[in-house]
Amino acid sequence: MKLPNGPQTPGLVQMLQWVFSPMSFMEACTKRYGDIFTLQLSRPVVFVSNPAAMQQMLTSDTKEFEAPSDWNTPFEPMLGKNSVITLSGKAHQRQRQLMMPSFHGDRMRTYGQVIGDITEEISSQWQIDKPFSARSAMQAITMRVIMQAVFGLYEGSRAQELEEVLSLMLDEGGQSPARALILYFPALQRDLGPLTPWGKFLRRRERVNQMLYAEIRERREQPDSSRTDVLSLLMAAKDEANQPMTDQELRDELMTLLVAGHETTATALTWALYWIHKLPGVREKLLEELDTLGDNPDPSTIFKLPYLNAVCCETLRIYPVAMLTFTRVVRTPVSLSGHELEPGTLVMGSIYLTHQREDLYPQPKQFNPERFLKRQFSAYEYLPFGGGVRRCIGMAFAQFEMKVVLATILSRWELALVDDGDVRPKRRGMVSGPNRSIQIVVKGQRAQKSKILESIAG
């Protein structure tokens, strides 16, 4: 079988380039081989970025393409075998159907209150003229949002310990390229004692599991139908055969939502704060729009603000946190971008390359929210949340969270970057993020503070 062209260097060299500098590697390949090429990773993988190929691959999912049963194994140590991310076929479909109702648009209003309260609480600890890391601050917010809106844990020693252990586990579990290498090569996953990275990870995971199972057991013993958090909704959900999720499934999906939703949203918010404060014109326009909000803006009014929406869209376009869609495997012989692919071929959609296309986004390296006001992009030209049967379950939640957090912070605080030098993206575990710390300093409270905060906080 002839695969699309790609680099001829040894597989190990390609794997290292892929792990350590995925974005420049993909860009160099697309320049040389066009918008479909093959990389030799642990197996050959075909990369696509043309919107038509993206559409074909994502929408003919389950016919011509499907998620391979073994490719998502790097996620398994953290998420388990029952996660919607590690499953494929019918089992994947079942989990998705059980999970989707918790993330429907109409549930966002409830979560909006929680997100506004948490942002207010955490940002109220910032001190004037004392710099802080944008990333740590955004991680603190998105972690607390998951703890409350998803796990339903508001206070108490379990909430506190779980938040601490999970933060450590996520921070050490997958941020560096070297850690990503451990995830790609299961043979490196050896427990060499409590002080070694993998040993530490295993012990923390054990403690997290104990706490999650205890929480699930207690909720089963004392059901409370007034709860609105995702865990309670998942516990009440039934599949087509009227079967609820098992404890193991619930544990795996909680970890999935945490891993998929915490770091991604925190990184997107960090980038947004960087661009807004790097480009004074963008900040001014945004503040002008936020100041037009009346006295009692509903979180859903914030959600509809056009310029805030354009800023969030451009943030996720220029450096998409998820560089790629999940892998798909060819099921039946298929022609993709003029190449005949045989069953078994692995294909990945490069969201990063699609978002960097000159034909769609002139001067793609420039941050320009106006492009989203001037033009509507199709679901395969702009796809920070992927597409098809694996499209991000938390898409509406993440968009809502980004907007409410930014509106809350920007309406209250006068912020500035400590260093407005350029920041570039780099791999952070399985996703991408800024290549250096972005420090922010509070200059003061905004004089023209809108009433947004009180209304969100109810």
Annotated binding-site members for heme:
392
Residue 455 CB, nearest distance to ligand HEM (Å)?
A: 23
Q: Does 387 bind ligand HEM (CB under 6 A)?
A: yes
In angstroms, the CA 308 to CA 406 distance is 9
Q: Does 354 bind ligand HEM (CB under 6 A)?
A: no
Residue 248 CB, nearest distance to ligand HEM (Å)?
A: 17
Query: Please, are residues 151 and 219 in contact by the beta-carbon 8 Å criterion?
Result: no
User: Considering CB under 6 A, how many residues would be counted as binding ligand HEM?
Assistant: 27
Q: Does 152 bind ligand HEM (CB under 6 A)?
A: no
**Strands 346-349 and 44-48: what pairing?**
parallel
In angstroms, the CA 176 to CA 172 distance is 8
In angstroms, the CA 43 to CA 327 distance is 12
Contact map string, positions 312 to 331, toward ligand HEM, x by CB under 6 A: ----x----xx--xx-----
Q: Does 143 bind ligand HEM (CB under 6 A)?
A: no
Query: Please, are residues 120 and 454 in contact by the beta-carbon 8 Å criterion?
Result: no
Query: Please, are residues 310 and 9 in contact by the beta-carbon 8 Å criterion?
Result: no
Contact map string, positions 23 to 62, toward ligand HEM, x by CB under 6 A: ----------------------------------------
Instruction: Please identify which residue in the block is written with the tokens 């039946």.
Output: 332
Cβ contacts of residue 145 below 8 Å, gap of 6+?
A: 111, 114, 115, 118, 265, 401
Q: Phi-psi bin for 79: left (phi > 0), alpha (psi -120 to 50), beta?
A: alpha
Query: Please, are residues 286 and 392 in contact by the beta-carbon 8 Å criterion?
Result: no
Residue 227 CB, nearest distance to ligand HEM (Å)?
A: 17
Q: Does 260 bind ligand HEM (CB under 6 A)?
A: yes
> How many CA atoms does the CB half-sphere of 272 hold within 13 Å?
28
* Segment near ligand HEM (CB under 6 A); pick from 49-57, 166-174, 303-311, 380-388: 380-388
Q: Does 394 bind ligand HEM (CB under 6 A)?
A: yes
Query: Please, are residues 244 and 238 in contact by the beta-carbon 8 Å criterion?
Result: yes
**Strands 439-445 and 413-417: what pairing?**
antiparallel
Select 46 or 260, whichever has its Cβ closest to ligand HEM.
Answer: 260
Select 7 or 116, whichever has its Cβ closest to ligand HEM.
Answer: 116
Number of residues assigned to the chain: 458
Please provide residue 5's backbone torsions phi and psi, each rounded to the nearest 5 degrees.
-60, 160
Q: Does 398 bind ligand HEM (CB under 6 A)?
A: yes
* Segment near ligand HEM (CB under 6 A); pick from 7-15, 111-119, 294-302, 393-401: 393-401
Select 438 or 442, whichever has its Cβ closest to ligand HEM.
Answer: 438
Could you say which residues in the range 86-105 bind ligand HEM, by CB under 6 A?
A: 96
Q: Does 266 bind ligand HEM (CB under 6 A)?
A: no
Which spans of this chain sit near ligand HEM (rule: CB under 6 A)?
A: 84-85, 96, 256-257, 260-261, 264-265, 268, 316, 321-322, 325-326, 384-388, 390-394, 397-398
